[in-house]
Structure 1
């Protein structure tokens, strides 16, 4: 019996690629993933072609639905790729983190350093651990390597690594050294890791001989060195549970972005998705997308400028000692060669491409709360498609279909769901028009 622990970065395309290569080589007979066991019944839907990321698992307290958390997945998230691998390989997959039923049940209990926000957990180093040190502990590793930016260092050393050979062993060793350097984890971190270890023991008792565990890099050492089962049971004893429900919901790249407030977010989800989908030769396709976006906005951009930007990005990368151009290199090259040095087009590129406007989709049979089902039905019947970008619609209330759209938007406002914001109650053609921003 062997347990293989893969310490990954949540929403890291390089981590996902290295993990997939390792799983295909390992061929495990069980895949255990850091995630909410309350949603185990949703795992099978990952095999449905109609479930298109970015999506998220929504878990809420049945008695108090306002108490809810989200677990987002992008196409480039290692957890999503692990689910897809398990479905394609026909091996069981399950989530092993501390159930949200227990975590929501203890909502009033506060860890001495941790704010209870499940959606804010999951980066390479959780916020609870960072609080115990002067700064990000990954910064220690980055500074030792001579890099003042820990985020860029992690990307260069892990996410942009060309080979998966030895990467997870190196991550576990580095995180183990960091964990030894300061205090033990707080109560909630200890409970989470205890539950993950208990889930590993369950898989072993079931007779699994080759178990793969996918977890945040910070947790990897804690899952490799197993204390006694009784020790973990004592850590988990006495937790109160509440009744919860879980479902898949659509998500967006914008809500995956760090600037959205999502604690485990990434700075450039659109760029990461591009690296995932165009891994072989990302630069030419990216420049093509930039030029197309500029032209769609009636801005000057030519193939010659795109070629020059590619050359400049590769030159900057070589000058900085990098194996391939990073987003920093590419953006600087685009600004100089295509945007004529202006920041304004760069901001447009950031919003539309670097962060991106991808919107996930659910299959028709996906479980959903009744309000969501009704809204989706009415959106389809009124041909009012949900889109990630804002748009303005002018409703002629003399048209029965447009009047029905107005009724729907007003009902949503009564429910404090401002999908549409009324701009003014009359248009140029009379008082029978409404202008809405969706």
Structure 2
């Protein structure tokens, strides 16, 4: 070990003298347990050599474990003693500018690098995200706080950049895929110290009598090192890092990445030392214990310098701070639930016991007040062998833990009663005693929080959980719970700050977690309409629940009057921050998202039309709507199936209705869309009728597009012959599609209703076609889409089916009918109910004598014989000459009145058929 002496000289320990006794002990142990020295001796002696090498390095290496209270306490103590001038930190070097923004946050938070558009990586990896979570009980936060708040101290991040994280990623692996508050970001952890293969971890957990790795670390590392001296802490951490490095070779790619990271960091440190002229004795290198005992040639200030750092890719990286939480850190790095909260409790406990003054950034939310001035630095001394004594020292029971255990036992009973458990003072006593008993059974000197948790579950929970929380969760909350950080306003990206500023009229605490209700009386306060527009865009962009409308809707062509919203922007702060990586305003991000959705290689016509609707609803942008509509037209021309016809029909109808009510003329793009769509679907119609993959709903929607857009298409230059030929060329075999074809022929006038009724009667009377008759009925129900005028005939066919079909055919068909009406109920059911109400009697007694109109005898139309002297109807029209003149002018008839005959007689004599028709029309 090296360090400054009183006169500035450097003291270095002898290479082999410090740990010679320990080497001898390990040699004897290897000989005894392995029947002679060999591989085991090589591992054990190699571990001591690793410790010796790391201790003797002139640039002091400080090994840490992430979120370890023991590491944080040791770091705070060492920084006050040594007061280094340069702190090298194992963190992505491109994240350095963000660290000063930690003053505006409440921990825990995560430093994030984000790239939405990639260049140089596989497109399926996008977006790229790297996060490095920081908590108060972490050694790196102590180092950051000391370096940023101490004048004359330089903080240098030396780990690979965020771009290199993905450059060194295995191509077949891709980015990580954990689901937590950090999303699918790749986690960068300082001090990643954990066994790399299952056998070693299983061995440690089994012989340590613990359930998971977090409990093993707490029992065998955290507690013994909580109040140890600096040399002991370093040597133990070096030993643990060397053990895991030698016994856990892991994936070859992972080993290569670990070694490249070490080469990268030592190369960066030597470059900085050469450029700044700093004395290695006045520097401190903070890294994970796994990387401290490194074997690479670049290790140390005297190492080789031939490692070449590759250039970064052309991807554009953006940086920011996002909220983190204990649960997110545990999920992202595979820690046991509640372990980070327990670490935070242990951190506070260690501070009280050791009286160490921690470092905290000035002005940080939730941090302690100003600190005392730093004392004079302590001269460095030669390191002695502390490992031998530490490994042989028996655990010591701390009396403070008994008092703490008693307070835990009382508090867990109180919390259990609040959650519905029938716990009492006796349960508190049993939890206390059971915790001590479990610790003894597990060969522990004192109960850990995990022993206490097991004891509480055993003594309180019994076999039922009366409330929402079980006892295990109650203990986790009592130990600190899931603390969630927050990024302050000043540290937010411009977009997030703009959102807060624009929603200021709502007078809400948007940074606060939880749900808040916002009431917008837009009719009384028109200035709130801008807030409404922004909230609808946030609802479109952010996860569900961030902005949820309770009252009000945003549809085409409608203006808001009153709205009510549930807002949880503080809870979803991370999503709001990441929007800032995509643009400088919410409108810009919405426009980019819409363009990206419409121009996606897998985009469909319906998806492009949806983007058109969103551009109108959210941005009120005719320019963007025309651009996206043109894209929808291009996609439509390339589609070879009618799979998207139902959605295309619904959206095209909505857009046409909107433009017809708001604009004096239709935009050119939608006229082109209707014209192209008419010809396109006419071309696809015969194939759709015969294809098995095309459903009845899709064929009905295709016909619906053709018939509902027919008048507009013909006015734009289309030819109705296209549709007539398409229907004539269609020869379906499926009964439902056959019914659709008949309905299309009726709509075109090629089939009369009498002929259609005759065909249905033939189906009912033919034993061969009777089983398939329900499928014909399903086709007629779908035919209401292209031919809504057939609703009376559909009611007739359904009624006839219920009257004539046997139960063995009718009952299996009913679920199909119900499903059809349920999926398309908004269109079909009102039509059918209204028509049935018109046809069927309104009262039940009248049903006995009621005859369906399609079974009633037709009433003959009376005809009057023509008179020879004068046409029928002359007296009536002669009595109303003004009416006669008006009708004659309307019908284009010319003539003059004659005095010899009644007024209008000469004219009507020339047109007897017209006279008869007018008489029938005007006669009551």
TM-score normalised per structure 1: 0.77
User: In the alignment, what sits opposite 2:496?
Assistant: 372
Please report how far the alpha carbon of residue 212 of structure 1 lies from its aligned counterpart in structure 2 after TM superposition: 2.0
User: What aligned pairs does 1:200-279 form with structure 2 within 5 A after superposition?
Assistant: 200-205=269-274, 206=276, 207-208=278-279, 209-222=281-294, 226-227=298-299, 233-237=306-310, 239-240=312-313, 242-258=315-331, 262-263=332-333, 265=335, 267-268=337-338, 269-279=340-350
User: In the alignment, what sits opposite 2:508?
Assistant: 383
Q: Distance in 1 between matches of 2:112 and 2:284?
A: 25
Q: Distance in 1 between matches of 2:336 and 2:193?
A: 14
Matched, 1:356 2:481: yes
Matched, 1:111 2:175: no
User: What aligned pairs does 1:87-106 form with structure 2 within 5 A after superposition?
Assistant: 87-90=148-151, 91-104=153-166, 106=167
User: In the alignment, what sits opposite 2:146?
Assistant: 85
Q: Flag the 1:307–1:211 CA change in 2: closer, same or farther, 3 A.
A: farther
Q: Distance in 2 between matches of 1:271 and 1:203?
A: 38
- Say which SS state the counterpart of residue 471 (structure 2) adopts: helix
Q: Is the 8 A contact 2:106 2:487 kept in 1?
A: yes
Q: Flag the 1:13–1:307 CA change in 2: closer, same or farther, 3 A.
A: farther
Q: Flag the 1:305–1:57 CA change in 2: closer, same or farther, 3 A.
A: same
RMSD: 4.1
Matched, 1:73 2:143: no
- Say which SS state the counterpart of residue 96 (structure 1) adopts: strand
Matched, 1:159 2:222: yes
Q: Distance in 1 between matches of 2:259 and 2:541?
A: 39
Q: For structure 2, which runs of at least 5 residues remain unmatched after alignment?
A: 3-57, 119-125, 177-184, 353-399, 553-560, 569-924
- Say which SS state the counterpart of residue 267 (structure 1) adopts: coil
- Say which SS state the counterpart of residue 495 (structure 2) adopts: helix
Q: Flag the 1:423–1:111 CA change in 2: closer, same or farther, 3 A.
A: same
Q: Flag the 1:77–1:415 CA change in 2: closer, same or farther, 3 A.
A: same
Please report how far the alpha carbon of residue 291 of structure 1 lies from its aligned counterpart in structure 2 after TM superposition: 5.3
- Say which SS state the counterpart of residue 106 (structure 2) adopts: coil
Say which structure is richer in helix: 2
Q: Is the 8 A contact 1:96 1:195 kept in 2?
A: yes
Please report how far the alpha carbon of residue 318 of structure 1 lies from its aligned counterpart in structure 2 after TM superposition: 3.7
Q: Flag the 1:295–1:233 CA change in 2: closer, same or farther, 3 A.
A: farther
- Say which SS state the counterpart of residue 487 (structure 2) adopts: coil
- Say which SS state the counterpart of residue 236 (structure 1) adopts: coil
Q: Flag the 1:357–1:156 CA change in 2: closer, same or farther, 3 A.
A: closer
Please report how far the alpha carbon of residue 413 of structure 1 lies from its aligned counterpart in structure 2 after TM superposition: 1.8
Q: Is the 8 A contact 2:117 2:127 kept in 1?
A: no
Number of residue pairs the alignment of both structures matches: 419
User: In the alignment, what sits opposite 2:107?
Assistant: 53
Matched, 1:13 2:69: yes
Q: Is the 8 A contact 2:262 2:296 kept in 1?
A: no
Instruction: Write the deviation string for residues 99-118 of structure 1: whole angstroms up to 9, x where unpaired.
Output: 114335x3xx6437865447
Q: Is the 8 A contact 2:191 2:287 kept in 1?
A: no
Q: Is the 8 A contact 1:102 1:242 kept in 2?
A: no
Give the one of 172, 177, 191 matched to 2:238: 172
Q: Distance in 1 between matches of 2:295 and 2:97?
A: 24
Q: Distance in 2 between matches of 1:342 and 1:218?
A: 44
Q: Is the 8 A contact 1:38 1:245 kept in 2?
A: no
Q: Flag the 1:398–1:227 CA change in 2: closer, same or farther, 3 A.
A: closer
Q: Is the 8 A contact 2:113 2:129 kept in 1?
A: yes
Q: Distance in 1 between matches of 2:156 and 2:507?
A: 39
Instruction: Write the deviation string for residues 235-257 of structure 1: whole angstroms up to 9, x where unpaired.
Output: 52455464423222322223222
Please report how far the alpha carbon of residue 436 of structure 1 lies from its aligned counterpart in structure 2 after TM superposition: 4.2
Q: Flag the 1:140–1:295 CA change in 2: closer, same or farther, 3 A.
A: closer
- Say which SS state the counterpart of residue 33 (structure 1) adopts: strand
Give the one of 445, 457, 471 matched to 1:335: 457
Q: Is the 8 A contact 2:64 2:287 kept in 1?
A: yes
Instruction: Write the deviation string for residues 327-356 of structure 1: whole angstroms up to 9, x where unpaired.
Output: 321212322444456454225426745672
- Say which SS state the counterpart of residue 215 (structure 2) adopts: helix
Please report how far the alpha carbon of residue 210 of structure 1 lies from its aligned counterpart in structure 2 after TM superposition: 2.9
- Say which SS state the counterpart of residue 171 (structure 1) adopts: helix
Instruction: Write the deviation string for residues 377-399 of structure 1: whole angstroms up to 9, x where unpaired.
Output: 456653144555x65x5655559
User: What aligned pairs does 1:312-331 form with structure 2 within 5 A after superposition?
Assistant: 312-331=434-453
Q: Is the 8 A contact 1:34 1:95 kept in 2?
A: yes
Say which structure is richer in strand: 1
User: In the alignment, what sits opposite 1:345?
Assistant: 470
User: What aligned pairs does 1:128-207 form with structure 2 within 5 A after superposition?
Assistant: 130=196, 133=197, 135=198, 137-139=200-202, 149-161=212-224, 162-165=226-229, 166-181=232-247, 182=249, 185-205=254-274, 206=276, 207=278
Q: Distance in 2 between matches of 1:141 and 1:39?
A: 36
Q: Is the 8 A contact 2:130 2:188 kept in 1?
A: no
Q: Is the 8 A contact 1:61 1:245 kept in 2?
A: yes
- Say which SS state the counterpart of residue 356 (structure 1) adopts: coil
Greater Cα shift, 69-78 or 399-408: 399-408
Q: Is the 8 A contact 1:270 1:354 kept in 2?
A: yes
Q: For structure 1, which runs of at least 5 residues remain unmatched after alignment?
A: none
Q: Is the 8 A contact 1:13 1:77 kept in 2?
A: yes
Q: Is the 8 A contact 1:21 1:164 kept in 2?
A: no
Q: Distance in 1 between matches of 2:493 and 2:538?
A: 15
Q: Is the 8 A contact 1:11 1:265 kept in 2?
A: no
Q: Is the 8 A contact 1:412 1:418 kept in 2?
A: no
Q: Distance in 2 between matches of 1:251 and 1:68?
A: 14
Please report how far the alpha carbon of residue 21 of structure 1 lies from its aligned counterpart in structure 2 after TM superposition: 3.0
